[in-house]
Amino acid sequence: MCELDKQVIGAIGDALTGTDKPFLITSGTALFSKDGITTEQDRSVNNTHPRIATENAADDQAAKGVHAAVIRLPPSVHGQGDKIGFVPLFIKIAREKGVSAIIADGFNRWPAVHHLDAARLYRLALEKPFDSGTRYHAVSEEGIELKTVASEIAERLNIPLISLNSQEAEQHFSWFTHFAKLDNVSSSKWTRNTLGWNPVHPTLLEDLKGSYYFSEIR
């Protein structure tokens, strides 16, 4: 799918070559997890994650004169309508296993944004001129500890909160283990200052305290 994404970006870029039409390409902050805080200035063309193909494809378009920019979404883009994102998957695993789990102390952090705030950022990015190759971060909250998320899930589902070691986590989370242990504190300071973007919709924890994520039929 990452290779297909690269090909689609190339095809759209070919159609936009020679025009001034803006081309916004979606990537993710999690590609740049590191010690410290991830910013819009972070690049990693030699990143081994297959999704780096999207960012590299965006730079290829910028190099040939296409007016392209990248918007990086955080691991949690939450709110009503979120059915297959990381939060509903986290809840689904907890329901199926009968426990809400963290890995080790659960102090690893996910950045987050409400989907309506993210949508507004896309609009602002289209409306304001940008340098080709620009990166924006659709990040409302820089980092929420997974223990906080898992604790809320445990309370809402009335199940235990447990801690897993690395081997237990692989058995419990399967392919989701990578995301369950992800530590990806990310800033949007530059994006906010550049676009005048100020998130106003509910935080991740506020959404988790609501009814949507825990209704049986959504």
Q: H-helix or E-strand containing 145? A: strand 141-145
In the structure encoding, which two tokens stand for residue 175, read together?
Answer: 């392919």
Topology (CATH) of 2-209 = Rossmann fold (3.40.50)
How would you classify the pairing of strands 109-114 and 141-145?
A: antiparallel
In the structure encoding, which two tokens stand for residue 194, read together? 């550049």
Quickly count: other Cβ atoms within 10 Å of residue 127's Cβ. Answer: 9
Domain boundaries, the chain: 2-209
The pTM for the full model equals 0.94
Residues of the chain with pLDDT under 50: 217
Identify which of 53, 66, 49, 63 has the alpha carbon closest to the alpha carbon of residue 12: 66
Q: How far is CA 108 from CA 77, 138, 150, in A?
A: 17, 20, 12
The predicted pLDDT at position 45 comes to 63
Within 10 A of 218 (CB to CB), how many other CB atoms are there?
Answer: 12
What is the spatial distance between Cα 102 and Cα 97, in angstroms, rounded to a whole number? 13
